């Protein structure tokens, strides 16, 4: 067993300090202190109104998809397209990222990547 291995047990935290600095030894109080700590840690302090948010978003210049791209994304995938993609898979490919140069279904040449997890 490596020295970097950490083992946790119910006895790990026998006492901790409260937010006011008082020593807590009761497991229920310790558990409540952890709960309160993380609840406060992950509570948003964001207080902007909808008007403020909309004013900010109106100032942004965000480009959208071209009409062609929207049509491509909205179109159905044909059985022939699926067959074409499946023909390019290598048998017994292990996990990881696999890069393949070639053309996409729309015909543009680019580097394609697929990653197994």
**Between the CA of residue 44 and those of 15, 19, 22, 39, 48, what are the distances in Å?**
28, 19, 27, 10, 11
Q: Which residue has the tokens 């229920």?
A: 28
Per-residue pLDDT at 106: 46
Q: What would the mean pLDDT of 12-16 be, rounded to a whole number?
A: 82
**Arithmetic mean of pLDDT, 2-26:** 73
Neighbouring C-beta atoms of residue 108, cutoff 10 Å: 7
Say what the pLDDT of residue 117 is. Answer: 46
Distance CA 92, CA 6 (A): 37
pLDDT of residue 51: 94
Mean pLDDT taken over the chain:
77
Query: What ranges do the domains of the chain cover?
Result: 12-60
CA 56 – CA 4 distance, rounded (Å): 47
Beta strands per DSSP E along 20-108: 23-24, 97-103
Q: Is the pLDDT of residue 25 over 70?
A: yes
Model pTM score: 0.35
pLDDT of residue 100: 54
């Amino acid at each position: 067993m490596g020295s970097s291995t950490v083992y946790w047990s119910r006895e790990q935290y026998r006492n901790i300090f409260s937010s006011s600095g008082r020593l807590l030894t009761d497991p229920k109080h310790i558990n409540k202190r952890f709960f309160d700590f993380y609840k406060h840690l992950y509570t948003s302090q964001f207080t902007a109104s909808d008007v403020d948010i909309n004013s900010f978003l109106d100032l942004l210049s965000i480009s959208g998809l071209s009409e062609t791209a929207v049509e491509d994304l909205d179109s159905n995938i044909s059985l022939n397209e699926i067959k074409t993609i499946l023909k390019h898979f290598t048998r017994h490919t292990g996990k990881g990222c696999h890069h393949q140069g070639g053309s996409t279904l729309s015909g543009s040449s680019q580097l394609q990547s697929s990653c197994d997890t």
